[in-house]
Amino acid sequence: MLISEFIDYLLLEKKYSTHTATAYKADLSSFLEFYKQEYELSDIDKANYAQIRSWIVNLVDQDVSNRTINRKVSSLKTYYKFLLKLGQVEKNPLAKHQALKAPKKLQIPFSTQEIEDVIKDLTDNTDFESVRNRLIVELFYATGIRRIELVNLKFSDIDIRAKQIKVLGKRNKERFLPLLSSVCETMQLYLTLRSDLIRDEEVSFLLLTKKGVKIYETLVYRIINNYFSKASSKVKKSPHILRHSFATHLLNEGANLNAVKELLGHSSLAATQVYTHHSVAQLTKVYKQSHPRNKK
């Protein structure tokens, strides 16, 4: 088996994040464990579709969601593509596999009022952590960046004079995003507090903890979840919902779908189209309220 080589390929050639590569490895390990127990074999490179299908059936019997099963199978399919590329297998056993039907996951964005309430709440305090947290909320909502992109922002990526930031997205693809004047004001205040906190020029990352080290993803999640739990009754309160809100609100106000695609850093328009659901809902509401014949 070439699982270790496959993970290296994902990290070094495909430029996947460590988190993504770890997920692939876990999915392959899941099939390997089943393959050993069910067939008493240890080389998944030689597995056939019937054996893989029995694994899928086993997952269904365990009440694993179709969405999770599809992700696991996709990881395995990508592994076989890798083996095919190296000439280690003659065909991909999952080449003709059809993904299980999975219900569309509806993400409910925050309202503009909920976001404004959180920002207002954070504006009342001017200590380092409060200003940093306000900047995090404003950056998410003003730019739509991903959580990992925010965490990895460098001090050198910020250009307040030009009112823009440079973001390193998936597969090391760079994009430049505009900043609102209000965000630049918060940024300026944060940078002043940041310089008072740390004098070490070696700390290149923009967002820091109060100890002066790079902020981390779980802390960012806790910050968003904590503040939005006070302002919103929605079930899911995460950085991704702020990204979702950014895209939905832009589309609701008439933004071009292709422009939103570029702002989000999506590689295909299909990925951006998931945000149009709420835009259509908004248009339908306006239509029903405004059309003359609907008032009769």
Selected catalytic residue, list 237, 244, 275, 278: 275
Active site residue 244: no
Active site residue 266: yes
Selected catalytic residue, list 72, 237, 266, 278: 266
Selected catalytic residue, list 53, 166, 214, 240: 240
Active site residue 132: no
Active site residue 240: yes
DSSP state of 295: G
Q: What is the dihedral of CA 61, 65, 68, 70, to 10 degrees?
A: 80
Residues 6+ apart with CB under 8 A from 36: 42
Residue whose entry in the numeric block shows the structure tokens 């994902």: 10
- From residue 131, alpha-carbon distances to 135, 201, 213, 229, 279 in Å are 6, 21, 16, 19, 32
Active site residue 275: yes
Selected catalytic residue, list 132, 134, 146, 194: 146
CA distance 150 to 128: 18
Selected catalytic residue, list 243, 244, 249, 278: 243
Active site residue 71: no
CB 80 within 8 A of CB 96: no
Selected catalytic residue, list 67, 170, 175, 234: 170
Alpha helices in 232-275 (DSSP H): 239-252, 257-264, 269-273
CA distance 171 to 160: 26
Task: Give the residue numbers marked as catalytic.
Answer: 146, 170, 240, 243, 266, 275
